[in-house]
Amino acid sequence: LALENDLRQAVEAQQFVLYFQPRVDLARGRIVGAEALIRWHHPEKGLVPPAQFIPLAEETGLILPIGDWVIRTVCQQVAQWQRTERHVVPISLNLSAAQFKGGRVLDTLHQAIAQHAVKAKLIELELTESLLMHDPQAAISILSAFRSMGVRLSLDDFGTGYSSLAYLSRFPFDFLKIDRAFVAGVPDNVEDGAIAKVIIALAKQLNLRTVAEGVETEEQLSFLHHLGCDEMQGYLFSKPVPVEQFEQMLREHV
């Protein structure tokens, strides 16, 4: 309860900050995007990772104002980069089920994109299978609305959720992000390797680009590269970093 009160105050006082984790395209050897990941600057506890407050935010409904903040902040940041940087890459953000339900996120996103005059193709939304499969028909219509806005869509944590291959082909995604649970096992774990291989082959058939998450070693990189994985994200390249540090990386590696 103490934490819940703190979190309410955090929303009021906007004690949040975004970190950015670069995404790399192996064929081009460049940073081709980044994932925005929220942290909470708690007045006493310091920097609190999302795993410690996103579940509480979801239970209490605070995820709605927090999610709106994330959307607006990402749009504002990308718009600023459009003005100041030579190269700007798409930035992805994570959505929770409650934001998705009822289509609230459509309004917030539409407004933020218009207000900041950000190019929609520079914004990417990450959604999980479980979030979509709760009501697949509704999901298809919301995803189609995102599509018309011109933002990019990625299916996050793929392979761990409640998947339906039947729906996978009907959801209009651009990217499929392979959950780091499988990436962690390759190349030594034969089963994880087999799963990674099948996911990448499936994605190719469906015309989706693949992103491996949680890539930590050269061995994982080369294994996934040989399977035809398009992009990678993980500690091997960089952990999530504060905005200034990400800008520095962009200027050096785009």
Query: Which one of residues 6, 68, 157, 231 is an interface residue with Na ion (CB under 5 A)?
Result: 157
220: tokens are: 């994982």
Query: How many residues at the interface with Na ion, by CB under 5 A?
Result: 3
Q: Which residues of 112-148 are buried (b: 16+ CB within 10 A; e: fewer)?
A: bbeebebebebbbbbbbbebbeeeeeebeebbeebee
* Among 99-107, 142-150, 153-161, 188-196, the segment contacting Na ion (CB under 5 A): 153-161
Is residue 179 part of the contact set for Mn ion (CB under 5 A)?
A: no
Other C-beta atoms closer than 10 Å to the C-beta of 162 total 11
Query: Which one of residues 1, 2, 27, 51 is an interface residue with ligand G (CB under 6 A)?
Result: 51
For residue 89, the Cα-to-chain-centroid distance in whole angstroms is 14
Question: With helix as H, strand as E and coil as C, how does 179-194 read?
Answer: CHHHHHHCCCCHHHHH
Is residue 50 part of the contact set for ligand G (CB under 6 A)?
A: yes
Query: Which one of residues 8, 87, 228, 235 is an interface residue with ligand G (CB under 6 A)?
Result: 235
Is residue 157 part of the contact set for ligand G (CB under 6 A)?
A: yes
Q: Which does 131 bind (CB under 5 to 8 A by kind): Mn ion, ligand G, Na ion, none?
A: none
Site residues (CB under 5 A) for Mn ion, limited to 77-136: 94, 126
Q: For ligand G, which is the closer residue by CB, 37 or 88?
A: 37
* Among 45-53, 78-86, 112-120, 163-171, the segment contacting ligand G (CB under 6 A): 45-53
Is residue 231 part of the contact set for ligand G (CB under 6 A)?
A: no
The alpha carbon dihedral of 133, 204, 71, 150 has a sign of negative
> Under a CB-based contact definition with an 8 Å cutoff, are residues 151 and 109 in contact?
yes
13: tokens are: 């006082």
From residue 94, alpha-carbon distances to 15, 71, 154, 155, 192 in Å are 18, 9, 10, 10, 25
Binding mask 87-126 for ligand G (x = CB under 6 A): ------xx-x------------------------------
Residue at 168: amino acid letter: L
Binding mask 185-224 for Na ion (x = CB under 5 A): ----------------------------x-----------
What is the spatial distance between Cα 179 and Cα 254, in angstroms, rounded to a whole number? 25
Site residues (CB under 5 A) for Mn ion, limited to 137-156: 156
217: tokens are: 């070693």
Least distance (Å) between residue 97 CB and ligand G: 9
Which positions touch Mn ion (CB under 5 A)? 94, 126, 156
Which positions touch Na ion (CB under 5 A)? 156-157, 213
